[in-house]
Structure 1
Amino acid sequence: MRRRVLMIVFPGFQLLDLAGPSDVFATAALLAPEDGYQVEVAAVRAGPVPSGNGIAVTARALGEVTGPVDTLMVVGGMSVPEQLGDRELVGAVARLAAGARRVASVCNGAFLLAEAGLLDHRRATTHWLAAGELDARYECVEVDADPLYIEDGNVWTSAGVLSGVDLALALVARDHGHALARDVARGLVVYLHRPGGQSQFSTPMRAMTPRSEPLRELQAYIDANPAADLSVPALAGRVGMSERHFSRVFTAQTGLSPGRYVERSRAEAARRLLELTAHPLDRVARESGLGTPETLYRVFRRHWRISPGDHRRRFRSKEK
């Protein structure tokens, strides 16, 4: 029996918030036809609903939705602030959530869940640009702007836009196991299923792009050569600066000290090795520049909030 997924949209919604998770569920249905998903789209009024980029999707009327819903998912979009005063939309979200097995939001769709009272006394996330507003507007919501997605009871919230794919993969993994989620990710040629505790930002995203071309080239060198000598003296020498001047300029232009940037870059290198190879942890530690399994464990826990072994098992679980 297929699980019914109801996606709620509104004029000006973010198309990727709908398309990404919908394709995850549709691909899972192809791979697991006996227990897959049936995706439906609903809005306040039936008919074409224009997204923020002008592409319209056909939706059924929320008032006509009856019967049990397995997963209720509210998308986001630039027009969300305008939708918060739509009592019919907010009321439908609250009504349908009451009968759903679980409820989820993508990006700033979390505001609609909050407006419906579904995030009261729960931990939630949203796009990092909107997190401060969510926190200020809804005092009963514990907002955490860092994770890709958060599960609190039967309510799931995700960060910006494409993190909706990560959320949908997590839901598939919860229903069918990580092996199917991994196969869906491979089929869609998207990033392998990331844990919700992982930060919304990769190391390059956390750091500003340096104005100086030599520093931009050095940044690329660091990311491409994690096992190299990336000490401050070595890096300063590559750009022809004194150590003190290099540290000051690098920090000013990237927002991160050289040491912090190198550690984060090496943590990401270790993450990729754990996901894409079967290397033992000592080799992962060496090739990522972290040196020893003990350092790997300590740094990985600090940056990804999960142990290296647990991360690998999540991504590379073997078929039984």
Structure 2
Amino acid sequence: IDLSLLFIEEDIDKKMALDVAKYLIVYLRRSGGQSQFSPLLESQAAENSVVASVHSYILGNPEARHTLESISEHLNMSPRNLTRIFKKECGMTPMNYVNDARIDFARRYLESTDMGYKDIAQRCGLESAEALRRIFVRRLGITPLEYREHFRSSNEDIELN
């Protein structure tokens, strides 16, 4: 991917390479040690699966402070059973999935708005700007400020869905 982005930048221009990187959700020409990251992926599960139910609930309430208990209560399941089924279907825990969703929501705000980090954190169900920073660094290896500097859309507004 990195080599392809380099070719696009050399053959076309840096903006096109950045657009492709944003589409693929990778850091433009990452350093060799940086891991790839991706947004919350659409669930491939059947409509009536636990994963699909959690996915719909989280996307429908992005500003909520989701916990394992609140999600399991919403689905009328025990936290243990929810975790077991979710991990089997999705390969991750429900809370890792929630954190991926929070990062995806935050990414969109960082790319398309000048909103402050505290406001973004609240809209993503996080308690503070520091919580946003911690989850960003832990998952993506960069701060929200660094992400905004690299992926900020200067020419167009990105629609938040």
Gaps of 5+ in 2: 156-161
1:275 corresponds to 2:111? yes
Aligned with 1:259 (options 92, 95, 111): 95
1:219 corresponds to 2:55? yes
State the distance in 1 between where 2:23 and 2:60 align.
Answer: 19
Give the match for residue 23 of structure 2. 191
Over residues 67-119 of structure 1, what are the superposed CA-to-partner deviations in whole Å (9 max), with x where a residue is unaligned?
A: xxxxxxxxxxxxxxxxxxxxxxxxxxxxxxxxxxxxxxxxxxxxxxxxxxxxx
Give the match for residue 236 of structure 1. 72
1:127-166 matches, within 5 Å, as 148-149=1-2, 157=3, 164=4
1:18-37 matches, within 5 Å, as none
Q: 1:193 to 1:233 in 2, by over 3 A?
A: closer
Amino acid at match of 2:71: L
State the distance in 2 between where 1:312 and 1:192 align.
Answer: 16
The structure with the largest strand share of the pair is 1
1:1-320 matches, within 5 Å, as 148-149=1-2, 157=3, 164=4, 167-168=5-6, 171=9, 181=15, 185=19, 191=23, 194-195=26-27, 196=30, 197=34, 199=36, 201-204=38-41, 209-211=44-46, 213-215=48-50, 216-316=52-152
Kindly indicate whether structure 1 or structure 2 has the higher relative contact order, using CA contacts under 8 Å at least 6 residues apart.
Answer: 2
Q: 1:294 to 1:214 in 2, by over 3 A?
A: same
Scaled by the length of structure 2, what TM-score is found? 0.72
How far residue 287 of structure 1 moved from its aligned partner, in angstroms, is 0.9
Scaled by the length of structure 1, what TM-score is found? 0.39
Q: 1:263 to 1:213 in 2, by over 3 A?
A: same
- Pairwise CA RMSD: 3.3
How far residue 264 of structure 1 moved from its aligned partner, in angstroms, is 1.3
Contact 1:251 1:258 in 2 (8 A): yes
In our comparison, the structure showing a higher alpha carbon Rg is 1
Over residues 139-176 of structure 1, what are the superposed CA-to-partner deviations in whole Å (9 max), with x where a residue is unaligned?
A: xxxxxxxxx53xxxxxxx3xxxxxx4xx158736xx97
The share of aligned pairs that are identical, in percent, is 26
How far residue 266 of structure 1 moved from its aligned partner, in angstroms, is 0.6
Q: 1:284 to 1:169 in 2, by over 3 A?
A: farther
Gaps of 5+ in 1: 1-147, 150-156, 158-163
Give secondary structure in 2 for the equivalent of 1:191: helix
Q: 1:317 to 1:261 in 2, by over 3 A?
A: closer
Give secondary structure in 2 for the equivalent of 1:203: coil
State the distance in 1 between where 2:54 and 2:35 align.
Answer: 26
Give the match for residue 159 of structure 2. none
